[in-house]
Amino acid sequence: MRNIILTGFMGTGKSTVGRLVAAKLQREFIDMDTLIEQREGRAITQIFAESGEPYFRQLEANLCRELAAQSELVIATGGGALVPEANLRVMEESGLVICLDCEPDTLWQRIGQSKNRPMLADQDEERFARLQTLLEQRAPAYTRIEHHLDVTYLTLEEAAKRIYEWANDE
Ligand code: S3P
């Protein structure tokens, strides 16, 4: 059975939805950020602060290849993990990649106050602008992904149900 890989911007619900989908399908769930934190013994914010973003991106690239070599997993990636096209191709070969999309205002409600999002940096008045800029920068990479689900008006349970049905139709 092929993997199911959920990706998309921070705050779209990848981890929560992925966990629900895995439970419905009785499959193992892997959250890439959590696995990286466990292996490194430090939080993502700490990894960014102490070792820099390129180091984190290399960990992500390596982990994509490691997980793509397995099967039957439900995987939630970090929001930037499949931005490099090579990482996307590797994951696409291993399974169904679905990008969760969401309107900026809703994302802001969900992650505007988040303290563990180094890509949004400080909680100052520029934060919403940074979120919008990052969304624009990411748009070409997310557009490359074949399958999308807009979760702006869906509950996490509804999103999980759609993906579960999708996986069953495969
Ligand atoms: C990132 C998203 C985060 C995490 C890291 C970088 C990004 O994951 O991997 O902070 O570049 O978009 P979530 O999308 O789960 O917040």
Ligand 1 geometric centre to CA of 78 (Å)? 4
Q: Is 33 in the pocket of ligand 1 (CB under 6 A)?
A: yes
Q: Is 31 in the pocket of ligand 1 (CB under 6 A)?
A: no
Q: Is 10 in the pocket of ligand 1 (CB under 6 A)?
A: yes
In a domain, 59, yes or no: yes
The pLDDT score that the predictor gives to residue 1 is 87
Ligand 1 geometric centre to CA of 167 (Å)? 24
In a domain, 37, yes or no: yes
The pLDDT score that the predictor gives to residue 40 is 98
Ligand 1 geometric centre to CA of 20 (Å)? 20
In a domain, 167, yes or no: no
Cα separation of 74 and 67, whole Å?
Answer: 10
97 neighbors 147 (Cβ within 8 angstroms): yes
Q: How many CB atoms lie within 10 A of CB 129?
A: 10
In a domain, 57, yes or no: yes
In a domain, 13, yes or no: yes
Where helices occur in 26-145 by DSSP H, the ranges are 32-40, 44-51, 53-68, 85-94, 104-111, 127-143
Domain membership of residue 43 as a residue range: 3-161
In a domain, 170, yes or no: no
Cα separation of 15 and 146, whole Å?
Answer: 20
In a domain, 168, yes or no: no
Q: How many distinct structural domains can be found in the chain? A: 1
pLDDT band of residue 169 (cuts 50, 70, 90) is confident
Ligand 1 geometric centre to CA of 84 (Å)? 14
151 neighbors 101 (Cβ within 8 angstroms): yes
In a domain, 76, yes or no: yes
Enter the pTM of the model.
0.97
Model confidence at 139: pLDDT above 80: yes
Could you read off the pLDDT of 13-48 as tens digits, one per residue?
A: 999 999 999 999 999 999 999 999 999 999 999 999
The CATH number given to whatever domain includes residue 80 is 3.40.50.300
